[in-house]
Amino acid sequence: MSIDQLPEIAQAMVAAGKGIIAIDESNATIKKRFDSVGVECTEENRRAYREMLLTTPNLNEYISGAILYDETIRQKTKDGVPFTKIMMDNGILPGIKVDAGTTPLAGFPGEVVTQGLDGLRERLNEYAALGAKFAKWRAVININIEEGMPSDTCIEANVHALARYAALCQEAGIVPMVEPEVIMEGEHDIDDCFVVTEKVLRSLFNALYAQNVMLEGTILKASMVISGKDCDEQASIEDVADYTVQCLKSAVPAAVPGIVFLSGGQSDDDATAHLNEMNKTENLPWPLSFSYGRAMQSAALAIWGKDIVNNVAEAQKTVYARAKANGLAAKGEL
């Protein structure tokens, strides 16, 4: 794919009433999820679980793409069809997580930077050959106001890496999804979250500009502006929606084809309700949709985990129901 085709792919990712399912958990993270439902974390169980998700009947009514992990993009259904083929045949774009996770930021205790730039050009070319149309890189920003977090250094290091990743993606003909996740854990209030998120997003778009990244072929994956999990005062659905829209309007250029949210540990219902409320706003400059991991999967995982052979159809009904609710929320129609 050439760079000229990236805007079309980006627009398809955020087509009206459609969003992304994030199933790109690393083997360490999916092990934690499997442990929680008592399923052994073998390669075959990971394959079977992802097959259950990806072959959910009619998933493409509400899902435009799925983010895969390195192991998953190479896997096949039990009938021997590559996952990427099943997806493309069903109108679901294959995406790939390409960062290598976080590592402590030297000199800044409590802060992290995402790694994975070394060798990324070669890996992206391989993923493009395997069928990936878009990629994801997640940066992690922790808030601890008393401890001065996030530091400017942490923000700069992370947005620089995000921008270099995005430029490499576009060179390889892959749409970069840039994800600066402001973490919900902490005692901070929603105003603190607003200030930090706005600063991170403004820094990110400066860095993307500096690295010659074409915004029309880039998707932003954002965290919502929300109260810290341990904050005494939890903001209402309406406030989360208002603060988030205001923050995005102040920091995200209208040239960006769309913004999708992560769920970040919100309950399934909250993640859907927040998105629905935001989409009641008139004249938004970009589509606002979802790229949920946990909020798309947790109910289905609980059902599948009880009987991984016989509960496939039952689990898929839940995947479809979550996709439908979030798809309607992406239009403010729930």
Active site residues: 179, 221
Compute and round to an integer the Cα radius of gyration of the chain.
19
CA-CA distances (angstroms) from residue 27 to 91, 100, 184, 255?
Answer: 27, 12, 23, 35
Alpha helices in 79-149, H assignment, sequence order: 83-89, 120-130
Q: Does residue 59 contact residue 92 with C-beta atoms inside 8 Å? A: yes
Q: CA-to-CA distance for 297 and 325, rounded, in angstroms?
A: 13
Task: Kindly indicate which of the ranges 88-96, 124-132, 200-208, 288-296 contains the residues binding ligand 13P, using the contact rule CB under 6 A.
Answer: 288-296
CB 295, min distance to ligand 13P, A: 5
263 touches ligand 13P (CB under 6 A): yes
> What's the one-letter identity of residue 282?
E
The DSSP code for 28 is H
Q: Which stretch binds ligand 13P (CB under 6 A): 122-130, 183-191, 195-203, 261-269?
A: 261-269
Contact between 294 and ligand 13P by CB under 6 A: the answer reads yes
19 binds ligand 13P (CB under 6 A): no
The interface region with ligand 13P, picked from 77-85, 162-170, 205-213, 260-268 by CB under 6 A, is 260-268
Residue 194 in the binding site for ligand 13P (CB under 6 A): no
Nearest residue to ligand 13P on Cβ basis: 293
Query: Which of 264, 287, 305, 327 forms a contact with ligand 13P (CB under 6 A)?
Result: 264
**Distance, C-alpha 229 to centroid of its chain:** 20
Q: Which residue in 295, 312, 315, 319 binds ligand 13P (CB under 6 A)?
A: 295
260 binds ligand 13P, rule: CB under 6 A:
no
Using CB under 6 A, which of the segments 42-50, 78-86, 102-110, 291-299 binds ligand 13P? 291-299
33 binds ligand 13P (CB under 6 A): no
- CA angle at residue 231 from 225 to 235, to 5 degrees? 45
Instruction: Say whether residue 293 binds ligand 13P (CB under 6 A).
Output: yes
* Structure-block tokens of residue 222: 């954002």
The residues that bridge with 11 in the sheet, in sequence order, are none
Specify the 3-state DSSP secondary structure of 315: helix
In angstroms, the CA 233 to CA 189 distance is 7
Nearer to ligand 13P, 255 or 299 (CB): 299
Tokens 């039952």 correspond to what residue?
314
138 touching ligand 13P, by CB under 6 A: yes
CA distances from 18 to 63, 252, 275 (A): 5, 21, 12
- Burial annotation 262-285 (CB, 10 A radius, 16+ → b, else e): bbbebebebbbbbbbbbbeeeebe
Site string for ligand 13P, 154-183 (x = CB under 6 A): -------------------------x----
Say whether residue 150 binds ligand 13P (CB under 6 A).
no
> Whole-number minimum distance, CB 57 to ligand 13P, in Å?
23
Q: Footprint of ligand 13P on this chain (CB under 6 A)?
A: 22, 138, 179, 262-264, 292-295
